[in-house]
């Protein structure tokens, strides 16, 4: 007589027994495994679509082996993501061993997990491609910053420039197409309940299955057979940035972005990740490197690390100082191979007639981070925690007798800029509302109106220092470029051959950048005619995002210019040999051109006009020298700058670069936290030099 019984009889007989509950749980686990396979498949397909949709970013030197390595490592990331995402359905399914009444709950949790996964994956895929095209990166901490500023303005830009709503509908349509086969697949079972019951007919087999599931889950979470689980650093499997960036899943990218953003929040709330020993080590690194430590005395007082003394004026102090932070004003348009675009002709003129620091880095890759670094004089301070730091530019310039203003083309609600201006110590703040007089109906002011408004604030009765933030080279792009004489209808032939991007949005951005540069040139010319003893400090706000091709060099990708212009202020002044710097060096450089001899101020930066030092500039990710640039932490080699001779070498080794990079960032974070309670003059810790 056969021992085989119909499935329905078995279910009815065993529902309330331990064996029946285990079999029901095993069936749920089987369906969860099918969902896991679905997740793994869709994540892998998403990577394929992502890589081929962005093929313009492929390196010409990359080989099939590189793609294979990236996809194989990506598969491990997908296994890890799928295992983590299946955790809740797997947990609920395992609880069915205690009661078969939980089986409907298990099916519901699995169905909801599948639905959320499909929608999220579709949105991440479509949004991730656009994000990379705009920001030259996968999802990062900036994602969480986007809606913390001018939320409505951000949404407008996403719609007008990127078709955000249309892309959302496309993602939802893709989700709808995927839903029905996925739902059917995860509701069915590869093996019937009868087959499972026969396979698990003994306690030993059931124990083996339980152990196997546990081991496979742990391996999936670790995605590694070694002692170290799969980590973010493991994405660096090739020599090519785009392929390495394509390795982690979008879920990993969002996890890393959220982790980085929370870290910034913790620092803003006063969380100090440095132990006293780490602070001491960072101080020794900075003080031991006199080429970067600034004009420091040898007294050994901790405060002396940040105190600098002005060398004295060689020309009259400027009557008016303009620190102009230009939107999307990158270094690459100033390079000879892009001159035919004529995007920054006025900037080129000012650079040739003034002083142009080519080896220069933005403090961060985003406007708000760069603004805070320039104004605070510190790396990595969060907009969530701002105040009058001893290193703050408006505080120092106010002590020199300058009336300090911040005039921006953005809304005062952009990262609560009005409140932050007051916290930083500016005497005045003027937003787009003041410039246009249209209230909240117009969230920004274009550059012509902005610069005209700045001129109206000037007088001969009182010296001033004005920080200007331009906006026209940022979306939404709504200017009539043809009327303004800035319309670019096509790329010049030499660049057309290289272009790998959609021409229409690219040319629209270039036209707005040309307009912004034109407004800058006119402003400098008009102000110089009326106030000849003025100083103009011109720089870009963040690293480049709108290259004509998908293969910018490391320098092109992350550098911005620093232009110093003022015929009387800079008369007979030249840049020191090998000058290099970053936005944090602006304060020390500017103060030394406006302060009398002996004036003491606090700054982590260095005077870029001072001879007799070895220069280097530090950003949030890179270090640049006279002839080289290197990505800190993750990179294994330095890159030669475009003008460097073939025999040029890096003046610092990898260990020195990372130590210096970390020390300056750690000290900025630590100083920003300490100065809320303690002034530098009250710190008396002695260190060895």
Per-residue pLDDT of 112-130, as tens digits, reads 999 999 999 999 999 889 8
The two beta strands, 628-631 and 639-640, are antiparallel
User: Which whole-number Å values give the CA distances from 3 to 10, 192, 340, in the listed order?
Assistant: 11, 16, 85
Q: Give the pLDDT confidence score for residue 110 in this predicted structure.
A: 92
pLDDT digits (tens, 9 = 90+) for 404-450: 999 999 877 677 787 788 888 899 999 888 888 754 455 689 999 99
Write out the H or E segment, with its range, that includes residue 618. strand 617-618
Q: Give the pLDDT confidence score for residue 394 in this predicted structure.
A: 95
Q: Where are the strands (E) in 551-607, listed by range?
A: 562-565, 581-582, 600-602
Q: Sorting pLDDT into bands at 50, 70 and 90, what band is 391?
A: confident
Q: Sorting pLDDT into bands at 50, 70 and 90, what band is 292?
A: very low
Distance of alpha carbon 597 from alpha carbon 250, whole angstroms? 55
CA 513 to chain CA centroid, Å, is 21
Asked if 595 and 400 count as a contact pair (C-beta separation under 8 A), the reply is yes
Q: Give the pLDDT confidence score for residue 393 in this predicted structure.
A: 95
Evaluate the omega torsion of the peptide bond into residue 476 and state whether it is cis, within 30 degrees of 0: yes
Mean pLDDT of the 666-676 span: 70
Residues 6+ apart with CB under 8 A from 38: 114, 182, 185, 186
Distance of alpha carbon 645 from alpha carbon 288, whole angstroms? 30
Q: Give the pLDDT confidence score for residue 442 in this predicted structure.
A: 57
Strand order, beta sheet including 464-469: 355-357, 562-565, 534-540, 320-326, 464-469, 403-408, 428-430
Other Cβ atoms within 10 Å of 169 Cβ, number: 12
| Percentage of the chain modeled with pLDDT above 90 | 43
Distance of alpha carbon 3 from alpha carbon 618, whole angstroms? 76
Q: What is the residue-wise DSSP string for 187-223? A: HS-SS-HHHHHHHT-SHHHHHHHHHHHHHHHHHHHHT
Asked if 270 and 579 count as a contact pair (C-beta separation under 8 A), the reply is no
Identity of the highest mean pLDDT range in 184-188, 384-388, 393-397, 625-629: 393-397
Mean pLDDT of the 342-349 span: 96
- Comparing 415 with 464, the larger pLDDT belongs to 464
Q: Sorting pLDDT into bands at 50, 70 and 90, what band is 12?
A: very low
- 203-209: long-range pairs with CB below 8 Å, 24+: 206/22, 209/26
Instruction: Please give the radius of gyration of the chain, using alpha carbons only, rounded to the nearest integer.
Output: 30
3-state helix, strand, coil in the chain (%, to 5): 55, 10, 40
- Comparing 395 with 10, the larger pLDDT belongs to 395
Q: Give the pLDDT confidence score for residue 671 in this predicted structure.
A: 75
Q: Sorting pLDDT into bands at 50, 70 and 90, what band is 13?
A: very low
Q: Give the pLDDT confidence score for residue 284 in this predicted structure.
A: 64
Q: Sorting pLDDT into bands at 50, 70 and 90, what band is 688?
A: very low
Other Cβ atoms within 10 Å of 52 Cβ, number: 9
Cα dihedral 365→578→534→603 (10° resolution): 60
Q: List, in sequence order, every residue forming a beta bridge with 639; answer none if it has no partner.
A: 629
Mean pLDDT of the 389-413 span: 90
Q: Give the pLDDT confidence score for residue 371 in this predicted structure.
A: 92
pLDDT digits (tens, 9 = 90+) for 228-282: 888 887 787 776 778 888 999 999 998 888 887 777 666 555 555 666 667 667 7
- In order of start, what are the domains of the chain with their CATH numbers? 7-262 (no CATH), 276-308+322-682 (3.40.720.10)
Asked if 609 and 673 count as a contact pair (C-beta separation under 8 A), the reply is no
**pLDDT above 80 for 516:** yes
Q: Give the pLDDT confidence score for residue 150 in this predicted structure.
A: 56
Mean pLDDT of the 575-585 span: 93
Q: Sorting pLDDT into bands at 50, 70 and 90, what band is 298?
A: very low
pLDDT digits (tens, 9 = 90+) for 92-115: 988 988 888 888 999 999 999 999
Q: Give the pLDDT confidence score for residue 305 in this predicted structure.
A: 54
**pLDDT above 70 for 46:** yes
Asked if 265 and 643 count as a contact pair (C-beta separation under 8 A), the reply is no
| Percentage of the chain modeled with pLDDT above 70 | 84
pLDDT digits (tens, 9 = 90+) for 181-197: 998 888 888 888 888 88
Mean pLDDT, the chain, rounded, equals: 83
The HSE-up count of residue 174 (CA atoms within 13 Å, CB side) is: 19
User: Which whole-number Å values give the CA distances from 34 to 21, 184, 225, 653, 660, in the listed order?
Assistant: 20, 11, 23, 50, 50
Other Cβ atoms within 10 Å of 557 Cβ, number: 21
Q: Is 128 exposed, middle or buried (0-12, 13-18, 19+ CB in 10 A)?
A: buried
Identity of the highest mean pLDDT range in 131-145, 582-596, 674-688: 582-596
Residues in the chain: 689
Q: Where are the strands (E) in 445-505, listed by range?
A: 464-469
- Comparing 18 with 463, the larger pLDDT belongs to 463
Mean pLDDT of the 62-89 span: 92
**pLDDT above 90 for 299:** no
Q: Give the pLDDT confidence score for residue 440 in this predicted structure.
A: 47
- Comparing 26 with 679, the larger pLDDT belongs to 26
HEC readout, 624-638:
ECCCEEEECCCCCCC
């Amino acid at each position: 007589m056969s021992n085989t019984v119909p499935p329905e009889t078995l279910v009815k007989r065993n529902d309330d027994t331990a064996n029946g509950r285990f079999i029901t749980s095993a069936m749920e686990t089987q369906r969860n495994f099918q969902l896991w396979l679905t997740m793994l498949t869709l994540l892998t397909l998403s990577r394929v679509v992502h890589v081929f949709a962005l093929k313009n970013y492929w390196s010409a030197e990359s080989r099939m082996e590189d793609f294979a390595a990236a996809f194989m490592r990506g598969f491990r990331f997908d296994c890890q993501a799928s295992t983590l995402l299946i955790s809740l359905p797997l947990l609920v399914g395992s609880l069915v061993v205690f009661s078969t009444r939980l089986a409907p709950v298990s099916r519901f949790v699995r169905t909801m997990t599948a639905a959320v996964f499909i929608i999220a994956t579709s949105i991440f895929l479509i949004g991730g491609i656009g994000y990379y095209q705009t920001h030259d990166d996968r999802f990062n901490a900036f994602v969480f910053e986007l809606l913390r500023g001018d939320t409505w303005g951000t949404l407008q830009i996403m719609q007008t420039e990127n078709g955000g709503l249309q892309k959302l509908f496309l993602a939802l349509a893709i989700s709808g197409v995927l839903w029905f086969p996925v739902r059917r697949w995860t509701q069915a079972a590869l093996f019937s309940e009868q087959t499972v019951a026969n396979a698990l007919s003994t306690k030993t087999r059931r124990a083996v299955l339980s152990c196997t599931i546990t081991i496979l889950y742990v391996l999936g979470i670790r995605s590694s057979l070694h002692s170290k689980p799969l980590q973010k650093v493991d994405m660096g499997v090739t020599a090519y940035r785009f392929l390495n960036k394509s390795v982690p899943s979008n879920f990993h990218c969002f996890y890393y972005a959220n982790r980085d953003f929370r870290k910034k929040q913790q620092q803003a709330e006063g969380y100090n990740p440095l132990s006293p020993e780490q602070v001491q080590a960072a101080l020794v690194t900075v003080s031991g490197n006199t080429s970067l430590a600034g004009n420091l005395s040898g007294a050994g007082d901790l405060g002396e690390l940040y105190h600098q003394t002005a060398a004295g004026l060689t020309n009259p102090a400027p009557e008016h100082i303009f620190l102009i932070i230009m939107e999307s004003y990158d270094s690459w348009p100033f390079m000879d191979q892009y001159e035919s675009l004529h995007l920054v002709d006025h900037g080129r003129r000012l650079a040739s007639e003034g002083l142009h620091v080519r080896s220069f880095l933005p403090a961060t890759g985003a406007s708000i981070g760069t603004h805070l670094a320039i104004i605070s004089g510190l790396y990595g301070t969060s907009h969530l925690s701002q105040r009058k730091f001893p290193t703050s530019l408006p505080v120092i310039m106010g002590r020199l007798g300058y009336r300090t203003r911040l005039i921006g083309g953005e809304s005062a609600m952009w990262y609560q800029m009005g409140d932050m201006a007051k916290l930083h110590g500016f005497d005045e703040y003027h937003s787009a509302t003041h410039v246009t007089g249209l209230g909240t109906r117009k969230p920004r002011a274009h550059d012509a109106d902005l610069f005209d408004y700045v001129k109206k604030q000037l007088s001969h009765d009182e010296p001033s220092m004005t920080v200007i933030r331009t906006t026209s080279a940022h979306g939404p792009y709504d200017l009539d470029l043809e009327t303004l004489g800035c319309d670019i209808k096509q790329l010049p032939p030499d660049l057309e051959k290289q272009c790998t991007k959609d021409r229409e949005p690219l040319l629209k951005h270039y036209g707005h950048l040309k307009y912004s540069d034109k407004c800058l040139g006119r402003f400098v010319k008009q102000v110089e005619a009326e106030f000849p003893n003025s100083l103009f400090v011109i720089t870009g706000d963040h690293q480049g995002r709108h290259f004509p091709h998908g293969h910018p060099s490391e320098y092109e990708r992350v550098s911005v210019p620093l232009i110093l212009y003022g015929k009387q202020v800079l008369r007979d002044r030249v840049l020191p040999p090998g000058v290099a710097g970053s936005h944090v060096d602006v304060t020390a450089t500017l103060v030394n051109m406006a302060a009398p001899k002996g004036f003491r101020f606090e700054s982590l930066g260095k005077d870029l006009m001072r001879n007799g030092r070895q220069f280097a500039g530090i950003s949030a990710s890179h270090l640049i020298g006279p002839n080289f640039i290197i990505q800190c932490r993750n990179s294994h080699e330095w890159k030669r700058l475009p003008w460097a001779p073939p025999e040029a070498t890096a003046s610092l080794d990898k260990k020195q670069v990372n130590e210096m990079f970390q020390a300056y960032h750690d000290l900025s974070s630590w100083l920003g936290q300490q100065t809320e309670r303690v002034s530098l003059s009250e710190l008396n810790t002695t260190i060895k030099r």
